[in-house]
Structure 1
Amino acid sequence: MTADDATDPTLPARDAPALVEGYTLVADAWTGAGEPAGEFARDLRPTTDLVLGERTMRPTPYDAWDWRSPKVGWALVAREPEGLSRQELVELVDLPGDVRRLVEARGGRVFRYRPGTTHADWTLTDYTNGMQPFTPAAPAGAGADQLPMFLLIYGAPALVPWRIQFILNPVRYVGRLDLEGAALTRYVDALLGEWKDSAARWSSPVVWAVDHQVGEITTLMRDVVAQPIHDAFAGDHELRPTFLDGRSAPATIATLTAALAEHRPALVVSSSHGQTGPLGDLEAMRADLGKPVDHHHALLDPAALLEAWQPDGAVWFAQACCSAGADSPTAYEGLVAGDLAATLRRVAELGALCAPLPRALLGADKPLRAFVGHVEPTFNWTLEFPPNRAQLTDSLRRSLYERLFAGLPVGYSMEPHYDPIGSLLQAYRNAEKEYQVTFGDAARVPLETTLYNRITAHDRASTVILGDPTVAIPPPPARDGTAPLTTTGRS
């Protein structure tokens, strides 16, 4: 400090007291004998969140839906084939070139599914990092000792079983890609290109609801799935939804096809029966499994549909039996009887597989982004609570409208639908224990509660995503200029 500096009023005087150490501190209090005075404590660290000379350790906020974040992450799950060395597994020699280039482009990790181990009936192993997570409670993220939140299963359910997807659904955002050859190439090209030139219209969702109005499940599905979702769309001034309401006029394959071709929706919602016959011809049943059944019991033919309309980046939610595929054995063995039991056993003879409609749409010339549907059936029991007929489907409205239409990834968007699974399974176990110590007529209630919670939990877990779980429908900026939640590169 120079002599001139000593008189500069912006600088402290030479004899000014220290800022903290040795500073006499007084307060505007009066004790009756005088004002209390003191000094700062010698060690200030215990009194503050700040650590002197160090960075704060507060958690850094992040978007739970941003798969690119190291705290979220994306990875591939694939079958571990027999006979390959660790190095061959690391080099992905068994996987198609399109899958390898997807993993490389995303800088992702690969976890190998293997059935039958010492401490569990299946494991996931990352051979590159030497990591084998305890899956349900594994730490989340892209780190070497973590299991990413977004997981894409590659392969048919015969290679990586449906139950792996069911178990992961409540704790991760999971999709499945069961495509080969040119269909796989088209999907990966579109995914890596983020459907850049998609003509799908965010503002024009299409809802198609069959209602036979004869007291069967199509009426219930129309009322508790299709109608509430359409009403959410219709209440949004930015959307112009089309509702092909089977209560007003027959919901046919022709009207659905025409609406898709005209409106080019970014989201399709359908509710109908799903084909599970003829029971006497397994090959015919395999070819038509899960196809939507219209008012006149005609089936949606994927090839004919794709001649009139290309998905081109749309997402399809299908409320229909086996719309996503079948499993073997059926999860409902021993729980149902009559024609339903016979139908489920016969469908299970097909083995575990993906349904033909989503495979055709995901592998189309201009592919679908994602398909959300059911493995096996959904029951009227799980759509509304029988004692008071309370609807149990609001999670679908929240998933498809409040999240998906906000531009969030489909895997993250379906989280509200999976959230109740843990609670349902806990209630199932509690009722099971109560039943074991209850006798006579009183045992009926816990037995029925056990059954209800078990079936409802499985119904939600077996609602699956086909396609990559990171895909999102990018919304335009809001009319008030607000930017969408997602941006190019996060969809």
Structure 2
Amino acid sequence: MLPAKLSINAWTGPGTQVSAEVNAEDALRWSVRAKFPAAGRKLGPEIEAPEQQWWHEQHGWGVVLPEPADGAWSHEDKAWARDAPPAVQRLVQHRLGEPYRPAPVFRFDPALPDNYLRRYFPDGTKSEPKIGQDIGLSGKNSVPRYLLIVADPEAVPWRIQYALAQSHHVGRLDLDDEGLSNYVDALLSDWADCDADPQSATVWSVDLQLDADITREMRRTIAHPVYKLLNGDTEIGAGVDYLSDDRAVVTELVSSLRRGPALVVTTSHGKTSPIDEARRDELAASLGVLVDCQDHFVDGAALDGWDPNGAIWYAHACCSAGCDHGTKYKGLLTAGDYATTVVEAVAALPAQVAPLPASLLGRPKPLRAFIGQVEPTFDWTLRDELNRQPLTTAITKALYNRLYQPWPVGFAFDPYFRSVGELYTQWVKLKDRIDEGADERIILPDAARVRLTAVDRESLVVLGDPTATLPPLPSKRGV
């Protein structure tokens, strides 16, 4: 059954709950009114080299850039990323060892289908490989498993990152030249000047103590399970700081961050106000900043003077990673309801990376990675409606079981991203059943749930390099 109402983790002012009635008739049609998204995951034998070995030729690492608007660049220039900022050129030259340097550079061209990239070669040739088909560094049509998009989401759209994430481990950097240089310096030095403590972690979770509010569900299904895993670890337990209830405030978070934790996990609303059209610039400038239990903001000013020191930050909040121009939720919520108005106001902005992660990834001692959402998440996707089982196990396992191996952040979240393709496959099968004449009253609610979960999950993105790993725990050093 469709729920009567959906809530999202967006914040527009003190005491507001951003929810909307579900228009049953329209929402059921929304559930099957879309094209299957571009993706590409190749089934086949297990790759012999461990997938976390990003430097191995069977996996590899590369850069995705926009096709330059200026046609004066030669094939060799584009193969060597000479149209990109100096920091990117430095990264391409030095990220991989011989004989794979310079690292492969791929181009997004809007004239190509979304599941294709373009690669130029110094000899004047080019290729247009399909993503997810030939993984590695060995051939002209190969695409590395690990990809770093260096572009704003207007130049290389979020939908490309979503498609890539189903078969590759992908991250994004959208920074000014100084921030990009800071991040590349840290990455190439393997974070030599950063000393985030792997035995220290911060879990900060706003719970507004309202059963109808999504913050309670986020605490119960994400923050608290992660805390329990960290607290039960013999190397981390005493070093995990769990901030919720009246401790879920900006001042407590800042104090905890100054301890130098390697992992930061936050669940809260994300700021999505003001929503009136005349103040859209103000909305863009503060989009997605975290909101504490007293309606104060975790923004760049609140964290001024804090060195991320190579930490990894997971932020489950509306638009914590940014926004897209337009929304896939059109037709799901009742027109004119409050959540619908909020979603439409954000969707009217140009596609962008949120200001908080951009600030933290560009500092002199930057974050290794920030994992957040491009659109809001819904309460319906956090827990199974029949047995009330949390649907967030892949997140909690990524944040503890996989990141602390330590495995690259892109690889750590791979099961979560891989599930997107599986959900879309379920959705197509449900659409096929309708075409075959099955009872729509039974099929359409399932189609709505599956499609909403797929859209919700694919909007979680990695900002930063997908090869970034936590510093190892003492028991993992030298392993």
Aligned counterpart, 1:331? 328
Aligned counterpart, 1:195? 191
The answer to whether residue 309 in structure 2 is matched with residue 322 in structure 1 is: no
Aligned counterpart, 1:19? none
Amino acid paired to 2:317? A
The answer to whether residue 89 in structure 2 is matched with residue 94 in structure 1 is: no
- The 8 Å contact of residues 142 and 148 in structure 1, kept in 2 or not, is answered as no
- The 8 Å contact of residues 427 and 447 in structure 2, kept in 1 or not, is answered as yes
- The 8 Å contact of residues 210 and 294 in structure 1, kept in 2 or not, is answered as yes
The answer to whether residue 412 in structure 2 is matched with residue 413 in structure 1 is: yes
Aligned counterpart, 1:265? 261
Aligned counterpart, 1:14? none
How many Å separate the matches in 1 of 2:214 and 2:384? 14
- The 8 Å contact of residues 306 and 364 in structure 1, kept in 2 or not, is answered as no
Give the CA deviation at 1:59: 9.5
Aligned counterpart, 2:56? 69
Give the CA deviation at 1:407: 1.1
How many Å separate the matches in 1 of 2:65 and 2:319? 23
2:290 to 264, 274, 292: 292
The answer to whether residue 213 in structure 2 is matched with residue 226 in structure 1 is: no
How many Å separate the matches in 2 of 1:243 and 1:162? 33
Amino acid paired to 2:255? A
State the identity as a percent.
Answer: 39
How big is each residue's C-alpha offset from its partner over 1:182-236, in whole Å with a ceiling of 9 and x where there is no partner?
A: 1111111111111113221100110000000012000000000000011110110
How many Å separate the matches in 2 of 1:145 and 1:133? 5
Amino acid paired to 2:223? A
Mean Cα deviation higher: 79-88 or 410-419: 79-88
Q: How does 1:15-414 map to 2 (within 5 A)?
A: 61-82=48-69, 83=71, 84-106=73-95, 107=101, 108-117=103-112, 120-121=113-114, 123-128=116-121, 130-215=126-211, 216-239=213-236, 240-247=238-245, 249-261=246-258, 263-280=259-276, 281-307=279-305, 309-337=306-334, 338-414=337-413
- The 8 Å contact of residues 373 and 464 in structure 1, kept in 2 or not, is answered as yes
- The 8 Å contact of residues 63 and 147 in structure 2, kept in 1 or not, is answered as yes
Give the CA deviation at 1:271: 0.2
Q: Whose relative contact order is higher, 1 or 2, with alpha carbons under 8 Å and at least 6 apart?
A: 2
- The 8 Å contact of residues 202 and 240 in structure 2, kept in 1 or not, is answered as yes
How many Å separate the matches in 2 of 1:153 and 1:347? 23
Mean Cα deviation higher: 332-341 or 270-279: 332-341
How many Å separate the matches in 1 of 2:59 and 2:135? 10
**3-state DSSP class of the match of 1:136?**
coil
Mean Cα deviation higher: 399-408 or 88-97: 88-97
Aligned counterpart, 1:46? none
Amino acid paired to 2:203? V
How many Å separate the matches in 2 of 1:354 and 1:59? 35
CA change 1:484–1:327 in 2 (3 A) is: farther
Give the CA deviation at 1:333: 1.4
How many Å separate the matches in 1 of 2:137 and 2:380? 37
CA change 1:144–1:430 in 2 (3 A) is: same
- The 8 Å contact of residues 235 and 473 in structure 2, kept in 1 or not, is answered as no
How many Å separate the matches in 2 of 1:122 and 1:145? 13
- The 8 Å contact of residues 116 and 122 in structure 1, kept in 2 or not, is answered as no
Larger radius of gyration: 1
How many Å separate the matches in 1 of 2:136 and 2:218? 36
How many Å separate the matches in 2 of 1:197 and 1:87? 34
Query: CA RMSD, aligned part only?
Result: 1.8
Give the CA deviation at 1:86: 2.6
Amino acid paired to 1:420? S
CA change 1:404–1:60 in 2 (3 A) is: closer
How big is each residue's C-alpha offset from its partner over 1:312-337, in whole Å with a ceiling of 9 and x where there is no partner?
A: 10000000000000001112112222
- The 8 Å contact of residues 290 and 297 in structure 2, kept in 1 or not, is answered as yes
**3-state DSSP class of the match of 1:464?**
strand
Aligned counterpart, 2:457? 460
How many Å separate the matches in 1 of 2:136 and 2:177? 32
How many Å separate the matches in 1 of 2:77 and 2:91? 18
**3-state DSSP class of the match of 1:452?**
helix
Amino acid paired to 1:177? L
- The 8 Å contact of residues 381 and 391 in structure 2, kept in 1 or not, is answered as yes
Unaligned runs of 5+ in 1: 1-57, 486-491
- The 8 Å contact of residues 407 and 484 in structure 1, kept in 2 or not, is answered as no
**3-state DSSP class of the match of 2:451?**
helix
CA change 1:250–1:304 in 2 (3 A) is: closer
Unaligned runs of 5+ in 2: 1-44, 96-100
How big is each residue's C-alpha offset from its partner over 1:240-286, in whole Å with a ceiling of 9 and x where there is no partner?
A: 34343423x2410011001111x210010000000011101211111
How many Å separate the matches in 2 of 1:251 and 1:59? 44
Aligned counterpart, 1:435? 434
Give the CA deviation at 1:91: 3.8
